Amino acid sequence: MKLKRNFRLVLIGQIISLFGNAIQRFCLSLYLLELTGSPAIYGNILALSILPYIFCAPIAGQFADQLSKKKIMIYLDFLCFILLFSYGVYLKGDGSSVIVAGAVMILLSVAATLYTPAVTSCLPEIVEPERLKFANSCVSQVGAWANILGPVVAGMLYGLFGIRWIVILNAISFLLSAIMECFLVMPFQKKEKQTPISLKSSYLEMGKTAVVVKKQYMVVFGIILSYALYNICIVPVNTIVLPYVMNLLFQVPSEVYGTVEGIIVLGSLFSGILLAIATKWFPFQKVYLWNYPMSVALLGMTVAVVFFSKSMIGVAIFAIGGMIIMFCLGVGNIVTLTYIQETIPSHMLGKVSALSTAVATATVPIGQVLLGNVLEWSHVSIVLLISAVLNGLVSLFVRWNILRDQKVDKIVKNVIECE
């Protein structure tokens, strides 16, 4: 009963935090654009807000492994409450500084970076092993719903109340989340010998963790590498190619483009729902099979831009293709995350989670820059074909990585039988 109660509290906290963050990010983005009137300044601030996910990840992992995860979540939510409440008071005095608004966005990113490994590594401690995949799918659904409904709710609230009251409401939501997390019952055993927590030691620990994972948990290392490959080869199709195709090639109205974005995000939502309902349908040993529909979707998108660029048929094909990609990526993320949580010891799960986040986040801009530059000198159909081929190669790597795990299991079983 305690486990179920604990998970409910964590999930409610995630709902409050993720929806609050989605609403806050969207509204601050609109506010910054209004303040500056410059897409360049706005883009630079957004880029800076991504940096904490890369540079603070090592110390986030060290926090999660050496400190109480419960206290990390409570303190961070309470600090976010203080930050946003203070910013709300500042806005009351007609504060309209771009620097202050940008600093708030960056500090919220730092908090999110420190928060994520604590949540990820706490799930195996509060959920039964057989229900871990279900728990991860529930958390994934919360994230998907936040991405779908967050901007919609944010747009309505921003139009009705303006930035100040949204900041205050979000501050209160963080306070409520911190209060709820006080009722969590989570085991914590302080180690006798711990590395002193500092930025330098956290980077050294991250390097040691990467070496240990590569040597002792080869499949997990391969999974982290696959996250990087997906972000370079596949994810930019939805983040770079989609806006280009919809706005410049298909030239659809903004309402249609918004609908297409919503349909694509539904893929991530459906993956979480299906995994929650039927977890046995998605064994880790077969997860590589979900890579193949992505290649089919990319080929379908290629057909759409070549033969249906002036038709709503092309728009529909692109929307369905993007949804399939998001669905398959969602399945892969949940299943592989569950494998990592089941495989990595609890005392280093936080650092491994942070390592995974850092690698994945650092490779996002690489993929965006590469695909954006390729679009400059070639037709979008060529870019989509290249992505389909690269996805095929990534699929082969993922299959090889998983089969390697099965071979190791067979060797271990044979050794045990011989003994």
What is the per-residue pLDDT across 10-20, written as a single tens digit (0 to 9) for each?
888 878 877 77
My answer on whether 72 and 158 are in the same domain is yes
Which structural domain range is residue 273 located in? 199-419
- CATH of residue 260's domain is 1.20.1250.20
Same domain membership, residue 238 and residue 110: no
Residue 282 forms part of a structural domain? yes
Residue 152, classified by CB atoms within 10 Å of its CB into exposed (0-12), middle (13-18) or buried (19+), is: middle
The verdict on 165 and 286 lying in the same domain is: no
pLDDT value, residue 413: 45
Residues 6+ apart with CB under 8 A from 317: 300, 301, 303, 304, 308
Residue 194 has what pLDDT? 60
Q: Check whether residue 178 and residue 206 sit in a common domain.
A: no
Do 136 and 221 belong to one domain?
Answer: no
The model's confidence at residue 419, banded by pLDDT at 50, 70 and 90, is very low
* Single-letter amino acid code for the residue at 392: G
Tell me, yes or no, whether 194 lies in a domain: no
Same-domain check for residues 163 and 204 = no
The answer to the question of residue 191 being in a domain is no
Same-domain pairing of 168 and 223: no
Q: Give pLDDT tens digits for 369-400.
A: 787 778 778 888 888 898 899 999 999 998 99
Asked which of 132, 151, 184 is the last residue of a domain, the reply is 184
At residue 321, the 3 state secondary structure works out as helix
pLDDT of residue 237: 84
Residue 324 lies in a domain: yes
Percent with pLDDT over 90 in the chain: 7
- Read off the pLDDT of residues 313-364 as tens digits, 9 standing for 90 and up: 888 888 899 899 989 998 888 888 888 888 888 777 777 877 887 788 778 7
Same-domain check for residues 144 and 278: no
Residue 1: band (very low, low, confident or very high) from pLDDT cuts 50, 70, 90:
very low
Backbone dihedral angles phi then psi of residue 112, each to the nearest 5 degrees: -65, -35
Angle, helices 69-92/163-181, rounded to nearest 10 degrees = 160
Last residue in a domain, options 138, 157, 184: 184
143 located within any domain: yes
Any domain includes 25? yes
- The single-letter DSSP state of residue 182 is T
Is residue 82 over pLDDT 90? yes
pLDDT in tens, 157-215: 777 778 888 888 889 988 988 898 888 877 665 554 565 665 666 677 778 888 888 88
What is the pTM for the complete model shown? 0.69
Residue found by looking up tokens 């369905």 in the block: 320
In a domain, 240, yes or no: yes
Q: Are residues 120 and 238 in the same domain?
A: no
Q: Looking at the predicted structure, is the pLDDT value of residue 222 above 50?
A: yes
For residue 193, tell me if it sits in a domain.
no
pLDDT at 411: 45
Query: What's the domain count of the chain?
Result: 2
381 and 247 together in one domain: yes
* CA 230 vs CA 27, 291, 316, 330, 354: distances in Å: 29, 10, 24, 12, 18
